[in-house]
């Protein structure tokens, strides 16, 4: 029986209050990108939270037109790898390619395309950039085979209650492709996506307002 190793731990009074991802995420295999094994992805564009989390990487996708200044700010502030959103829906074509190139030059470890992105855009990105191309999958009806043939590196599965089913569909087509999946809020749902075949899990942190609530209650009682 392998002896459990002691993990030396360092912290401080000033930085003890961080957003920790659920420990069960460590059960997954992880995705190795340029020698770094990434198991947990924090889904956030909040720089304060990004600077105060133990997640392995950041997946920075937001519901606005991607802007280089935003990705530059996130990459500069983060102390861990960042996967940047580069459009694929309203923002597409040459603009997405240029955004991806800019993200790579700024130090992004990967780029993320929205669900509507075409297979042709995936092919073009694979020719232009040297970092992983990730495509978001929201339904079992998405063109999984077409994405694979286009050369996509990672599937980002975000299907709500259908996430496990979508992962199963992908795994029937490919046992090797890398999968990041939303794991929900409980250890049970996270474990389910890992058992289905997710290599890494994305975790949505509480809002800053929620995190402030406990602190403010403490201040008010003093």
Tens-place pLDDT, residues 129-167: 999 999 999 999 999 999 999 999 999 999 999 999 999
DSSP type of residue 135: E
Q: Are 65 and 71 in contact (CB under 8 A)?
A: no
Going by C-alpha positions, the residue among 62, 26, 32 that lies closest to residue 47 is: 62
Q: Supply the pLDDT for residue 205.
A: 92
Count CA atoms closer than 13 A to 25's CA, side-chain side: 27
The helix-helix angle for 163-173 and 187-196 (nearest 10°) equals: 10
CB atoms within 10 A of CB 49: 19
Is the residue at 2 inside a domain? no
Is the residue at 8 inside a domain? no
Going by C-alpha positions, the residue among 35, 189, 2 that lies closest to residue 109 is: 35
Q: Which domain holds residue 103?
A: 23-204
Is the residue at 216 inside a domain? no
Is the residue at 145 inside a domain? yes
Is the residue at 101 inside a domain? yes
- Checking if the pLDDT of 82 tops 80, the result is yes
Is the residue at 39 inside a domain? yes
DSSP type of residue 19: B
Percent of the chain with pLDDT over 90: 77
- The total number of structural domains in the chain stands at 1
Q: How confident is the model at residue 3 (pLDDT cuts 50, 70, 90)?
A: low
- What predicted TM-score, i.e. pTM, was given to this entire model? 0.91
Q: Which CATH number do you get for residue 188?
A: 3.20.20.60
């Amino acid at each position: 029986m392998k002896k459990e190793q002691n993990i030396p731990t360092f912290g401080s009074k000033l930085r003890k209050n961080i957003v920790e991802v659920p420990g069960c995420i460590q059960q997954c295999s992880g995705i190795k990108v340029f020698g770094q094994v990434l198991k947990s992805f924090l889904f956030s564009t909040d720089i304060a939270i990004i600077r105060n989390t133990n997640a392995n990487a950041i997946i920075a996708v937001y519901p606005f037109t991607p802007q280089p200044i935003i990705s530059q700010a996130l990459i500069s502030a983060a102390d861990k790898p960042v996967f940047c959103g580069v459009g694929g829906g309203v923002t597409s074509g040459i603009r997405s390619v240029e955004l991806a190139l800019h993200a790579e030059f700024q130090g992004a470890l990967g780029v993320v395309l929205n669900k509507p992105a075409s297979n042709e855009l995936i092919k073009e990105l694979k020719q232009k950039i040297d970092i992983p191309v990730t495509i978001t999958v929201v339904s079992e009806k998405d063109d999984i085979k077409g994405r694979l043939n286009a050369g996509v590196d990672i599937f980002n599965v975000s299907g709500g209650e259908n996430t496990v089913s979508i992962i199963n569909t992908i795994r029937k087509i490919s046992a090797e492709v890398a999968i990041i999946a939303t794991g929900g809020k409980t250890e049970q749902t996270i474990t389910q996506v890992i058992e289905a075949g997710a290599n890494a899990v994305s975790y949505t942190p509480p809002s800053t307002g929620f995190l402030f609530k406990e602190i403010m209650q403490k201040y008010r009682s003093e």
